[in-house]
Chains A and B, each alone.
Chain A
Amino acid sequence: MSITTAIETMVANIDASAASYLDACVHCGQCAEACHFYENTGDVRYTPVYKLDLMRRVYKRHKDPLASIKKLFGLAPAELTQDDLNEWSDLIYDSCTLCGRCTIVCPMGIDIAALVRKTREGFVAAETVPEGLTGAAGRALETGSPLGIKPETFKKIVAEQSVETGIPIELDKAGADYMVILSAMEVLNFYEVIGALARIFKKAGVSWTMSTTAYEATNVGIQMGDKAIAKTLVSRVVDAAEQLGVKYVVSPECGHAYSALNWEGPNLVGRSYKFEVIHIIELLDQLCAEGRIVTKGKDDRRLTFHDPCQIVRRGGIVQEPRNLLNQVASNFVEMSPSGVDNICCGGGGGVSSNSNAEELRIRAFGSKKRQLDDVKPDAMVTACGNCRNVLEEAIDEYEMVMPVLGLTELLAEYLDD
Chain B
Amino acid sequence: MTFLEIVEGPLWYLGASVFVIGAVWKIVGILLLGRKADLSIPRASASVGALKAQFLHFVPHGGFTFRTIYHLVAGYMFHIGLFVLLLFAAPHVTFAQNNILSIDWPSLPYWGFVVAAQFAFAGLILLWVRRISDPVMIKISDRDDHVGTWLTFLVMLTGCMALQEGNEMLRATHMLLVDLWLIYFPFSRLMHAVTFMFSRGYTGAFFGRRGIVP
Give me the interface of A with B, judged by CB distance under 8 Å. 14-17, 19-21, 23-30, 32-34, 38, 44-45, 47, 49-50, 63-66, 69-70, 75, 100-101, 103-111, 114, 262-267, 270-272, 276-277, 313-316, 318, 336-337, 340-341
Contacts and interface: CB of A to CB of B under 8 A. Distances in A.
Contacts of B34: 15-16
Nearest to A30: B68
Contacts of B38: 267
Contact of B33 (A15, A44, A265): A15
B68 A105 contact: yes
B115 interface: no
Contacts of A16: 30-35, 198, 202
Given A27-B145, A66-B22, A316-B211, 12 more contacts: A16-B202, A17-B35, A17-B206, A29-B136, A29-B140, A50-B139, A69-B187, A107-B75, A316-B43, A316-B212, A337-B63, A341-B214
A166 B192 CA distance: 62
A357 B129 CA distance: 34
Nearest to A17: B202
6 tightest Cβ-Cβ pairs between the two chains A and B: A65-B29, A316-B211, A17-B202, A20-B198, A266-B39, A24-B199
B57 A106 contact: yes
A14 B41 contact: no
A45 B139 CA distance: 7
Contacts of B62: 34, 101, 104-105, 337, 340-341
Contact of B187 (A17, A75, A267): A75
Contacts of A271: 39
A23 B39 contact: no
A338 to B, nearest CB: 10
B137 A29 contact: yes
Most chain A CB within a 10 A radius of its CB, from B40, B136, B145, B203: B136
Contact of B191 (A23, A49, A70, A267): A23
A32 B203 CA distance: 19
A24 B198 contact: yes
A108 B39 contact: no
A315 to B, nearest CB: 6
Contacts of B80: none
Contacts of B207: 314, 316
Contacts of A114: 206
10 contacts: A15-B33, A21-B202, A24-B195, A29-B137, A44-B140, A64-B29, A104-B64, A267-B36, A314-B210, A315-B210
B40 A47 contact: no
B134 A109 contact: no
Interface string B41-84: 10110000000010011101111100110010001000000000
Most chain A CB within a 10 A radius of its CB, from B60, B186, B214: B214
A101 B64 CA distance: 11
B192 A267 contact: no
A107 B139 contact: no
Contact of A66 (B60, B186, B189, B202): B186
Contacts of A104: 61-62, 64, 214
Contact of A20 (B25, B30, B63): B30
A107 B57 contact: yes
A44 B151 CA distance: 27
Nearest to B59: A107
Contacts of B192: 23-26, 108
A15 B64 contact: no
Contact of B214 (A33, A69, A100, A265): A100
Nearest to A261: B40
Contacts of A101: 62, 214
A105 B199 contact: no
Contacts of A341: 61-63, 214
B214 A313 contact: yes
Contact of B64 (A34, A108, A267, A315): A34
A298 to B, nearest CB: 28
B36 A28 contact: no
A31 to B, nearest CB: 9
B39 A44 contact: no
A38 B29 CA distance: 35
A267 B30 contact: no
Interface in B183-205: 186-187, 189, 191-192, 195-196, 198-204
Contacts of A318: 212
Nearest to A268: B39
A263 B46 CA distance: 14
Contacts of B196: 24, 107-109
A263 B36 CA distance: 14
A21 to B, nearest CB: 5
A47 B56 CA distance: 22
A313 to B, nearest CB: 5
Contact of A105 (B64, B142, B191, B203): B64
B103 interface: no
B101 interface: no
Contact of B140 (A50, A111, A315): A50
Contacts of B195: 20, 23-24, 108
B166 interface: no
Contacts of A27: 137, 140-142, 145, 189
Given A25-B192, A65-B28, A336-B63, A103 B203 contact: yes
Contacts of A106: 57
Contacts of A25: 189, 192, 199
B203 A44 contact: no
A25 B32 CA distance: 20
A111 B206 contact: yes
